[in-house]
Structure 1
Amino acid sequence: MASTSNEAPAVPPSLSLPPSQFARLQPHAYLLAHLSPPAATNQPSIRANGREPLQFRTTSANCGSLTHTNGSAVVRIGDTAAVCGVRAELLHTDDIASWSVARTSSASTNKRQRLAELGEDVTEEDNEDEDDQDRAHIEDLSLLVPNLSLSTGCAPGYLPGAPPSTTAQSISHEILSLLHSSRLVKADDLRIWYQPPNLGPEDEQMDVDEGAGKKAETEEQKPREIKAYWVLYIDIMIISLAGNPFDAAWASVVAALRDTKLPNAWWDVDNETVLCSDDVSEAHKLTLRGLPVASSFCVFEADAAAGWRAKPIPNAQQQKKDGKGRWILADPDGYEDNLAHERVSIVVDKEKNGKTVILKMEKVGGWTIDTEDLRRLVDVSSKRWDEMKQIFDQC
Structure 2
Amino acid sequence: MPKDELSVLSEIKRNYILSRLKEGVRGDGRKPKEYRKINIITNYVPRAAGSALVELGNTKVLVGVKIETGEPFPDTPNMGVLTTNLELLPMAFPSFEAGPPNEQSIEIARVVDRGIRESRMVDLEKLVIEPGKKVWIIFIDINVLDYDGNLIDASSLGAVAALRTAVVPASKEGGEDFALPVNSIPISVTMAKIGDNLLCDPDLEEEQLSSTRITVTTTEDGHIRAMQKGDAGTLDLEEIRKAIKLSSDIGRQLREKYFR
TM-score range, shorter chain: 0.7 to 0.9
- List, as ranges, runs of 4+ consecutive aligned residues in structure 1 with deviation greater than 6 Å: none
Q: CA deviation at 1:188?
A: 2.4
Partner residue of 1:294 out of 188, 203, 213: 188
Partner residue of 1:380 out of 222, 246, 256: 246
Give the letter aligned to residue 344 of structure 1: I
Show the counterpart of 1:259: 165
Give the TM-score normalised by structure 1: 0.58
Show the counterpart of 1:212: none
Per-residue deviation, residues 205-256 of structure 1 (Å, max 9, x unmatched): xxxxxxxxxxxxxxxxxxxx66521111111001111011011111111111
Per-residue deviation, residues 88-131 of structure 1 (Å, max 9, x unmatched): 111157xx8x5xx976xx6xxxxxxxxxxxxxxxxxxxxxxxxx
Show the counterpart of 1:148: 86
Matched, 1:51 2:30: yes
Show the counterpart of 2:236: 370
The separation in 1 between residues aligned to 2:110 and 2:16, in whole angstroms, is: 34
Show the counterpart of 2:16: 30
Matched, 1:192 2:90: no
Show the counterpart of 1:330: 200
Q: CA deviation at 1:376?
A: 2.8
The separation in 1 between residues aligned to 2:30 and 2:147, in whole angstroms, is: 19
Show the counterpart of 1:275: 173
Matched, 1:77 2:56: yes
The separation in 2 between residues aligned to 1:181 and 1:382, in whole angstroms, is: 16
Give the letter aligned to residue 63 of structure 1: T
Look at both structures and tell me which one has the larger radius of gyration over its CA atoms.
1
Task: Show structure 1 runs of 5+ residues with no match.
Answer: 1-19, 37-43, 107-136, 194-224, 266-273, 302-325
Task: Show structure 2 runs of 5+ residues with no match.
Answer: 1-5
1:314-325 alignment, distance < 5 Å: none
Q: Is the 8 A contact 1:65 1:74 kept in 2?
A: yes
Q: CA deviation at 1:332?
A: 0.6
Per-residue deviation, residues 305-352 of structure 1 (Å, max 9, x unmatched): xxxxxxxxxxxxxxxxxxxxx22111110001011121111111123x
Q: Is the 8 A contact 1:79 1:240 kept in 2?
A: yes
Per-residue deviation, residues 173-231 of structure 1 (Å, max 9, x unmatched): 223333332222212231125xxxxxxxxxxxxxxxxxxxxxxxxxxxxxxx6652111
The separation in 1 between residues aligned to 2:254 and 2:76, in whole angstroms, is: 38
Deviates more, 1:356-365 or 1:240-249: 356-365
Q: CA deviation at 1:45?
A: 2.0
The separation in 2 between residues aligned to 1:146 and 1:92, in whole angstroms, is: 17
Q: CA deviation at 1:59?
A: 1.2
1:330-369 alignment, distance < 5 Å: 330-351=200-221, 356-364=222-230, 365-367=232-234, 369=235
Aligned residues: 254
Give the TM-score normalised by structure 2: 0.86
Show the counterpart of 1:182: 119
The separation in 1 between residues aligned to 2:163 and 2:259, in whole angstroms, is: 13
